[in-house]
Amino acid sequence: MTEIGEATYRRVHRGSPDLLFDCMTRPEHLTRFWGPAGTTTPVDGIVVDLRPGGAFETTMVNDADGSSHTMRAVYVEVRRPDRLVWIEPDVEGGMRTTVTFVDLGDGRTEVITHQTNVPAAYLSAEARAGFSTSLDRFDAYLAALDPEPARRPE
């Protein structure tokens, strides 16, 4: 049995919890940012059955060599616009991802992604850096949806 652990990622994005929730649950949005830099996730490789027990699948294609990786998960909790929880049963230990959307009240939302039963390979510096680039891609996509620059509190 391989070692497992936990990971938490926090990022503040411009946009309401409703918008961010929709971006995380609709294939037409997911295709624009899902996966680390250097990958593409074609819309026809995305399955979202948004209900407890429903499937959540994404097939990421490596832009350099065309290889692909499919993430298969099952939704455990769907609470719009505050929370999404899924489990990846194919990952040893059944990795669980909880995404919480926290309205900051100023047009921004903090997205907290907490993962448990994470295999050691997913906790490597390289894997964590890859996940971070996917958050950067999400941020860039959200900015493209609303080109107005975020106002900073004085």
Owner of token pair 């669980």: 96
Q: What is the pLDDT of residue 127?
A: 87
pLDDT number for residue 147: 54
Specify whether the CB–CB gap between 114 and 8 falls below 8 A: yes
Give the residue, 151 or 100, on which the prediction is more confident: 100
| Each residue's pLDDT tens digit, 27-44 | 999 999 999 999 999 999
Higher pLDDT, 129 or 46: 46
Residue 125: Cβ within 10 Å count: 7
> If we measure between CA atoms, which residue out of 125, 103, 124, 122 comes closest to residue 112?
103
3-state secondary structure 35-59: CCCCEECCHHHEEECCCCCCEEEEE
Q: Which of 51, 92, 99, 42 is nearest to 74 (CA)?
A: 51
- Enumerate residues 6+ apart whose C-beta is below 8 A from 149: none
The answer to whether the predicted template modeling score (pTM) of the entire model surpasses 0.85 is yes
Segments making up each domain of the chain, as ranges: 4-145
pLDDT for 154 equals: 46
Q: Is the preceding omega at residue 81 within 30 degrees of 0, hence cis? A: yes
Which fold does the domain 4-145 belong to in CATH?
A: Alpha-D-Glucose-1,6-Bisphosphate; Chain A, domain 4 (3.30.530)
